[in-house]
Amino acid sequence: MSTPAPDTASGNASGPDLLYSELEEDLRASVRSMLADRSPHNAVLARCETDEPYDPAVWKALAADLGCAGLAVPEKLGGAGASWREAAVVAEEVGRAVTPVPFLTGSVIATAALLAAPASASADRADSADGAGAESVAALLADLAAGHATAVLAVPFSSCPTPAGSGSGAGFPETVRVDADGHLTGTVTSVADASIADVLLVPAMAASGPAFFAVGARAAGVTRDAVISLDLTRRLSDITFASAPARRLADADGAVQALARGLTVGAALLASEQLGVAQACLDMSVAYLKTRSQFGRLIGSYQALKHRAADLWAAIAQARAVARYAAVCVAQDDPDTPVAVALAQAYCSTVAVRAAEECVQFHGGIGFTWEHPAHLYLKRAKSASLALGTAAQHRAALGRLVNLPPAN
């Protein structure tokens, strides 16, 4: 019995447009120059030595001044009305600069989850204990899009968008429970960027099944414990909810959908961030290969290094095509999205790690020092490869999606 692999988006004549538009290049240029100016490596490193790696001024410049937080949010909800394609270009630049900003977690994952939450669910306020301001999903989205508030999805950063189980609700987290009075109790470990979030979006189990809540990050009953994180530029927290007041945003399938969409769009755009990380590592390496001499020759003239640099460049060229395809698919809600995203994560994770590891090796001793930025990229790349599903998990997901089943 053989069913061919699904081949939807790839079916039209020219295929999806994988190039960058002029608009995207303009956006890239303004983000890049702002980050070069406001978030150079030495500033990132200096901040990483403190408990507060995030520079609120840089985040405000990116999110609000350049309008990047609301790129994919429709204009009627207060956003820029662009798409995940443009947001992916921002993710590339954020990766390129290893800037500690909650762009991926807030402007991509949390925002995508909210955009997917059926707005009707927000009307249910019976169990909301937050009397002061029961915001709707729309109001929250408007705040996020304007850069007035930051939200993150309260799930372990390692969560995979395509859980191995089947059926709706499979893999829905159960570590947080909804109490009888509608408050939340439980723990979530390894939540990325939670320390600077204003709002936590929490998937939780109610008696009736999956539900999706907004919780004030500084509300009573919420504790965020900083974790010493492998990635210095994207910190994790363990979060404890002890009868924390919560606003219900979605129920049942709506909650499952919001979570899945957040993780899916996140995984798609993480690939672009990884592309930016890899490109930065290659650029840094090539620059060094052209300036460092040993044995009376530039080290870049040795084929042992030259050929590895060429191979890396070729792999990054492929990562770019793959990351663009994932961004295009989530932007257009293409039916090939699950394949595109699993492919992007299976491929770009490994390329970014390889680029960062080579970057250290190309630099010799200096690349092993704390002062050199190579380790910021290595830590970002390795952590990112574990985030939102490992390459192996995504390969397994692909096996299910394209009908290449495992051995019995």
Partner 1 sequence: MLNERIKALLDGHPPASTPRLEFLRARFDSGLAWVHFPAGLGGLDAPREQQRIVDEALAAAGAPDNDPHRIGIGLGMAAPTILAHGTDEQRRRFLRPLWTGEEVWCQLFSEPGAGSDLAGLATKAVRENPGDEASDWIVTGQKVWTSMAHEARWAILIARTDPNVPKHKGLTYFVCDMTGPGVEVRPLRQITGEAEFNEVFLTAARIPDAHRLGPVGAGWAVAQTTLMNERVAIGGGAQPREGGVIGVVARAWRERPELRTAAAHDTLLDLWTQAEAARLTATRLRQQLAAGGPGPEGSAAKLAFARLNQEISGFELDLLGEQGLRYDDWSTGSWASERPTTVDFAGRGAGYRYLRAKGNSIEGGTSEILRNIIAERVLGLPPEIRVDKDVPWKDLAQ
Residues that bind partner 1 (CB under 8 A): 1-5, 7, 10-11, 13-15, 17-19, 286, 289-290, 297-298, 300-301, 303, 306-307, 309-311, 313-314, 317-322, 324-325, 343, 346-347, 392, 395-396, 398-399, 402-408
Query: Whose Cβ is closer to partner 1: residue 101's or residue 401's?
Result: 401
Q: Please identify, using beta-carbon distances, which residue of 3 and 50 lies nearer to partner 1.
A: 3
Shortest Å distance, C-beta 346 to partner 1: 5
Q: Cβ closer to partner 1: 50 or 408?
A: 408
Residue 277 phi/psi, 5-degree rounding, is: -60, -50
Q: Nearest approach, Cβ of 84 to partner 1 (angstroms)?
A: 17
Task: Tell which residue, 168, 185, 171, 176, has the closest CA to residue 241.
Answer: 185
Nearer to partner 1, 232 or 340 (CB): 340
Nearest to 238 by CA among 229, 230, 251: 229
For residues 249 and 121, the answer to whether their CB atoms sit within 8 Å is: yes
| Smallest gap from residue 3 Cβ to partner 1 (A) | 7
Q: Give the nearest distance from C-beta 308 to partner 1 in angstroms.
A: 9
By C-alpha distance, which of 218, 312, 323 is closest to 269? 323
CB nearer partner 1, residue 246 or residue 327: 327
Residue closer to partner 1 (CB basis): 208 or 303: 303
Beta bridge partners of 202: 213
Distance between CA atoms of residues 379 and 98, nearest Å: 10
**Can you tell me the distance from the alpha carbon of 408 to that of 406, in angstroms, rounded to the nearest whole number?**
6
Query: Shortest approach of partner 1 to residue 355 CB, angstroms?
Result: 13
Q: Across 234-314, where does the E strand assignment appear? A: 236-244, 247-251, 293-294, 297-298
φ, ψ for residue 139 (rounded to 5)?
-65, -40
Residue 282 beta carbon to partner 1: minimum distance, rounded to whole angstroms: 8
